[in-house]
Amino acid sequence: MDKVKVGILGLGRWGMNHLEAFCSLGQVEVVAVCDKSPEKLELAGQKYRIKQLYSNEDDLILNDDIDLISVVTFESQHLEPTLKALRSGKHVLVEKPVTTRPEEAREMQAAAADSGKLLLPGHLLRFDPRYAAIKEAIQSGKVGTPVSMYMKRARENFLFDTFKRVHTVYELMIHDIDLAIWYAGCRVKKVKAYGRTVSDSSSPEVLWANLEFENGAIAVLHSNWMTPDAAGIEIADAIEVIGQSGTAHFESSLSGLHIWDGGGRLTPDMNIHVNLHGQTIGSLREQLTYICRCIAQGEEPSVISFADAVHGVEVADAIVTSCEKGQEIVLGEAML
Ligand SMILES: NC(=O)c1ccc[n+]([C@@H]2O[C@H](COP(=O)([O-])OP(=O)(O)OC[C@H]3O[C@@H](n4cnc5c(N)ncnc54)[C@H](O)[C@@H]3O)[C@@H](O)[C@H]2O)c1
Strand partners, 153: 223
Ligand 1 centre from 40 Cα, in Å?
12
Nearest to 84 by CA among 94, 75, 74, 76: 94
Nearest CA to ligand 1 atom 10: 72
Domains of the chain: 4-122 (3.40.50.720), 126-272+312-330 (3.30.360.10)
Peptide linkage before 81 cis (omega within 30 of 0) = no
Ligand 1 mean position, distance from CA 71 (Å): 8
Per-residue pLDDT at 218: 98
Tens digit of pLDDT per residue, the chain (336 long)?
789 999 999 999 999 999 999 999 999 999 999 999 999 999 999 999 999 999 999 999 999 999 999 999 999 999 999 999 999 999 999 999 999 999 999 999 999 999 999 999 999 999 999 999 999 999 999 999 999 999 999 999 999 999 999 999 999 999 999 999 999 999 999 999 999 999 989 999 999 999 999 999 999 999 999 999 999 999 999 999 999 999 999 999 887 899 999 889 999 999 999 999 989 999 999 999 999 999 999 999 999 999 999 999 999 999 999 999 999 999 987 776
Cα–Cα distance for residue pair 33/258, rounded to 1 Å:
35
pLDDT value at residue 336:
61
Q: Are 146 and 241 in contact (CB under 8 A)?
A: yes
What is the atom index within ligand 1 of the atom nearest the CA of 56?
A: 32
Give the 3-state secondary structure of 49-97. Answer: CCCEEECCHHHHHCCCCCCEEEECCCHHHCHHHHHHHHHCCCEEEEECC
Q: Report the residue among 18, 74, 104 best suited for mutation to probe ligand 1: largest number of ligand atoms under 8 A from its CB.
A: 74
- At 305, which helix (H) or strand (E)? none
DSSP three-state, residue 143: coil
Q: What is the pLDDT of residue 209?
A: 98
Q: What is the pTM of this model?
A: 0.97
Q: Which of 135, 167, 153 is nearest to 308 (CA)?
A: 135
- Identify the residue whose C-alpha is closest to ligand 1 atom 21: 12
Confidence (pLDDT) at 263: 86
Phi (first) and psi of residue 265, to 5 degrees: -110, 140
15 lines ligand 1 (CB under 6 A): yes
Cα(35) to centroid(ligand 1), Å: 10
Q: Is 72 in the pocket of ligand 1 (CB under 6 A)?
A: yes
14 CB within 6 A, ligand 1: yes
- Given the CA of residue 78, which atom of ligand 1 is nearest to it? 41
**CA 13 to ligand 1 center in whole angstroms:** 7
Q: Is 295 helix (H, G, I), strand (E, B) or coil?
A: helix
For 112, the 3-state DSSP assignment is helix
- C-alpha–C-alpha distance, residues 119 and 106, integer Å: 12
